Amino acid sequence: MENKIKGVKKEIVSKLNLVKDLKDIEKLRVEYLGRKGIVTLLLRKLGSFSAEERPKAGQLLNQSKREIEELLKIKEIEIEKLEKEKRLQGEGIDLTLPGRKLDRGTAHPINLVLKEIEEIFLSLGFKIEEGPEVELDYYNFEALNIPKDHPARDDQDSFYINKEILLRTHTSPVEIRVMEKQQPPIRMITIGRCYRRDAADSTHAPMFHQIEGLAVDKDITFGDLKGVLTVFVHRIFGKDRKVRFRPAYFPFTEPSAEVDVSCLLCHGRGCRACGYTGWLEIMGSGETDPAVFKMVGYDPEKYSSFAFGMGAERIAMLKYGINDIRLFFENDLRFLKQF
């Protein structure tokens, strides 16, 4: 009896090795454990055993039955796992097919640059102010120390609406409007469209964007102007840029300074882009002229200030290597989508 049972177990183990799928296992289960299965039949034969032999044989048989059940179960799990894997193997796809993206749009490069500049000055404690684009001659010129017959003022360069109203030629009038309505300290920037009577070519456009800044307080010096604008240049063009302050003339600032940055292309060695000077002019700046303070009722003995202004198009052209200002206003999608 014992030998027989051992033989059955051996037989099962070898048959299990040949099993290919779950059906084979089910066949084996029926063959051995089914109603007419080999093990079941053996169990039925127990009655014919002697009383002494019966308990031992019964125990042996039952244990073997459990073992066989266990073996079948293990094999079954193994097969199931294999079959799952096989199924997954059949589910391959071409991962290089295009994804279903939500086609994102783009910000205009000018606004991208304006935003970046704005962030820098916001982090330095500047507030953003706004003002009209169609402006009074008074704010655009007169209050900025550019009286009617000043050489710096050329009617040819401005779009007038009537004698007193024009399209602002710079964002500086916003400074006057802010100073008129509040007392120092002031730290502000303003951003917006400006207009000059320039026919469009690769470096001119009748409309452009300016960023203007002003800081007024009791002890503001030319050193502060240099400090703040140096921080600005380093943050927008990179820390390895050199900054140069050069004497200039603007009617509304004294002293005045033009700000140059070492050429982005040749790193100061001199190339066509910088006219072989190694420097690129990026903005105008200076300490507010006492005459302007008088126009807004500030005491120049008590307060000093600095102001600066730059063209967003110029900054964007330098930053992105764009060589024609007209591209900004043509709005060709092949251009816009690069930003």
Partner 1 sequence: MQVSYNLLKEYIDMDMSPEELAQRLTINGIILERMENISTEIEKVVVGKIIAIEQHPEKKKLSVCQVDIKKKILPIICGAKNMKVFDKVAVALDGSKLPKIGIIKSKKFGGVLSSGMLCSASELGIEPGKSPGILILEKEAVLGEDIRKMIKFDDTIFDFEIHSNRPDLMSVIGIAREIGAIINNKLKIPEIEIKEEGEKIEKDIVVKIEEEDLCPRYAGRVIKDIKIEESPLWLKWKLRLLGARPINNIVDITNFVMMETGQPLHAFDLDLVKGKTIIVRRSRPGETICTLDDVERQLPANSLVIADTEEPIALAGIMGGKHSEIDQSTKNVFLESAYFNPVNNRKSTAKFSLRTEASNRFEKGIDKEVQIYALDRAADLINKVAMGKISSGKIDTNEKLYQPNKINLRIKRVSKILGQFLDKDESKTKNKIIDILDKLEFKLVKDMGEYIEVIPPSFRGDVEREIDIIEEIARIYGYDKILPTLFNTTIAQEGKDFRLKVVDQVREILIGCGLNEVITYSFISPETFDKIRIPEGHKLRNAIKIKDPLTRDHSLMRTSLISSLLEIIKWNTNRQIELVKIFEVAKIYLPYPDRSSSLPNEKLIIAGAINKSVRGDVWEKSLSLDIFDVKGIIETVFQGLKVENWEVVQGNHPAFHPLRNGKIIIRGEEVGIFGEIHPEVINNYRIPGKVNLFEIDFENLFPNVPSDIKYCVLPKYPSVQRDLAFIVKEEILSADIIKTIKLIDEKLIKKVTLFDIFKGKQIGDGYKSLAYSVVFQAEDRTLTDQEVENIFRKIREKLIVKFNAKIRE
Secondary element (H or E) of residue 58: helix 53-89
Does residue 161 bind partner 1 (CB under 8 A)?
yes
Question: Does residue 106 bind partner 1 (CB under 8 A)?
Answer: yes
Distance of alpha carbon 84 from alpha carbon 82, whole angstroms: 5
172, 143 contact by CB (below 8 A):
no
> Is the alpha carbon torsion for 326, 327, 329, 330 positive or negative?
positive
* # chain residues binding partner 1, by CB under 8 A: 80
Residue 167 binds partner 1, judged by CB under 8 A: yes
29 vs 197, beta carbon nearer partner 1: 197
- Segment 174-233, which members bind partner 1 (CB under 8 A)? 185-187, 193, 195, 197, 199, 206-207, 215, 217-224, 226-228, 230-231
Shortest approach of partner 1 to residue 327 CB, angstroms?
A: 11
Helix orientation angle between 109-123 and 312-320, rounded to the nearest 10 degrees: 100
The b/e string for 53-86 (b: 16+ C-beta within 10 A; e otherwise) is eeeebeeebeebbeebeebbeebbeebeeeeeee
Q: Smaller CB distance to partner 1: residue 26 or 118? A: 118
Binding of partner 1 at residue 137 (CB under 8 A)?
no
> Which window, 3-11, 39-47, 66-74, 322-330, contacts partner 1 (CB under 8 A)?
322-330
Indicate whether 9 belongs to the interface with partner 1 (CB under 8 A). Answer: no
CA distance 5 to 61: 7
Q: Which of residues 270-309 bind partner 1 (CB under 8 A)?
A: 277, 287, 289-290, 300, 304
Of the candidate residues 202, 249, 299, 323, the single one contacting partner 1 (CB under 8 A): 249
First to last CA, the chain: 86
Q: How far is the CB of 182 from partner 1 (least distance, A)?
A: 11
322 binds partner 1 (CB under 8 A): no
Longest Cα–Cα distance in the chain: 136
Q: Applying CB under 8 A, does 108 fall inside the site for partner 1?
A: yes
- Picking from 204, 177, 201, 203, the residue whose alpha carbon sits closest to that of residue 188 is 177
User: Cβ 178 to partner 1, closest distance in Å?
Assistant: 12
Using the rule CB under 8 A, give the single segment among 46-54, 55-63, 68-76, 101-109 that binds partner 1.
101-109
Shortest reach from residue 120's CB to partner 1, in Å: 13
Alpha-carbon gap, residue 285 to 256, rounded angstroms? 6
